Each structure stands twice: as C-alpha cells, then as structure tokens.
Chains A and B, each alone.
Chain A
C-alpha cells in the first residue's frame, strides 16, 4: 500500500508566479490535511479537506492561497503570485476518516523556493 504521495518534491518559482502542489492520499483515505513548515519551525496547520469539501481552513492565509480535493484526482494546494516568504516545506497528510483522532500519515513534502 503506497504511502502519501506528494509532487513535485522540489519546486522553484520566481516572485509573482503560481505554485501548484499535489497530494495523493493513501489508498482508502478520504481526509487530507496541509501543513506548512517554515525554516527551523514546527509544522503549522493550514487546511483540512474531505472529498469536494473544505472542512477547516482556519490556518490558510486569507489571500493568494487556495486548496481543493476533487472527487477524482489529487488534492491541490495553489499559491498565486508567490512571494519570498512563501518559501517553505509544505506537507500533506491523510487519514481514513473513520473517527476522532485518526492517525494522520504524512507525505515527504514539497520544498518550495521562491527566488
């Protein structure tokens, strides 16, 4: 059973460009979470999605960031008009959604560098 897949693993963008980060959850998992890890910091929750629904986006910046988890295909975290401060590692996690405090399984992350 493949784990959580994220691609690309490394992404370089110039200021003002768009970044698209993809996450394929583990097979059978219907819940996806995105976290951001700034240099020398812990992970910070961004958004929690189920198929076609955003459940909690309290950690998402109000502008330029969006996330989706369509019925078919991976979850996408989209950052428009990137700025240097967006440089970070973005981790996706998935869970089966069977109950409270389900274990979250993390992907390897996408390291975004904004030049």
Chain B
C-alpha cells in the first residue's frame, strides 16, 4: 500500500541555519503531497502542498518540490527561526480521501 518515509528526528539547528527534512513516498498512481506542521499542544496545519510532478509548494519561507523520478518531497528552508520549532509531517493523498502520514520529524531551533 501507499506509504511515506521521512527522516527521523529530533533535528536540532541554530537559528538562521539551512533546513532540509527528507521525505520519500511509495504510491500507485499520482498522489498529492503535503507537509503539515504541528506546534506544541495544537492540531495539524497545512504548511504547503503539491499536486503534480515538478510542482513546488511554498509557504512561510518553506519549499518542497514534487520529484516523481526520485519519489521525494523534501522540505527546505534557507534560514530557520526559533518559532519554526515544531513537528513536521510529510503526507500523501492518493485521491481516495484518506491522508497517509509519515511518522513526523521534531525540529528544535536554538537561539
């Protein structure tokens, strides 16, 4: 079945460092891909998405490009802030209305 694999955390970076969180997927067909962010004690918020190959999703300085050839959707940000500390989930939707999530990557940003 469909699945998502993302790098394990926690990831600890200093403020203004470059961030990459790797995500690869397995799916039949052409899924939509998502990154969600979960701040402490809160629900998930959609961070960005891409619906077809080579699409780039972007929001709040974060970017991810849908790479069909490598089945990847890595999350990047050029300069992280302390407020970016959260858990990040890579996810896919194969069109059957359920979202399949990775296990999440906890990110700590040090001032």
Residues on A with beta carbons closer than 8 Å to the beta carbon of B43: 4, 6, 91, 106-109
Tell me the dominant secondary structure on chain B's binding face. strand
Contact B98 A33 (CB under 8 A): yes
Contact A45 B42 (CB under 8 A): no
Contact B103 A42 (CB under 8 A): yes
Interface bracket on A? 20 to 34
A58 to B97 Cα, complex, angstroms: 12
Residues on B with beta carbons closer than 8 Å to the beta carbon of A6: 43
Contacts A101-B32, A101-B93; A59 near B101 (Cβ below 8 A): no
Contact B44 A106 (CB under 8 A): yes
Contacts A101-B32, A106-B44; A43 near B101 (Cβ below 8 A): yes
Q: How far is the CB of A25 from chain B (nearest CB, A)?
A: 13
Contact A42 B89 (CB under 8 A): yes
Contact B100 A45 (CB under 8 A): yes
Nearest A residue to B103, CB-CB: A42
Residues on A with beta carbons closer than 8 Å to the beta carbon of B4: 42
Residues on A with beta carbons closer than 8 Å to the beta carbon of B93: 101
Contact B98 A41 (CB under 8 A): no
Q: Interface 1/0s, chain B 77-96, versus A by CB < 8 A?
A: 00000000000010101011
Nearest A residue to B42, CB-CB: A108
Contact A100 B95 (CB under 8 A): yes
Q: How far is the CB of B22 from chain A (nearest CB, A)?
A: 15
Q: How far is the CB of B11 from chain A (nearest CB, A)?
A: 15
Residues 90 to 115 of chain A near chain B (Cβ within 8 Å): 91, 93, 95, 100-109
Interface residues of B (CB under 8 A from A): 4, 32, 36, 41-46, 49, 51, 89, 91, 93, 95-104
User: 3 smallest A-B Cβ distances: which pairs?
Assistant: A42-B101, A45-B98, A106-B43
With A44-B101, A100-B95, A105-B46 given, can you name 14 additional A-B contacts, CB distance below 8 Å? A4-B43, A6-B43, A33-B97, A41-B104, A42-B4, A42-B103, A42-B104, A56-B96, A56-B97, A56-B98, A59-B98, A101-B95, A106-B43, A108-B43
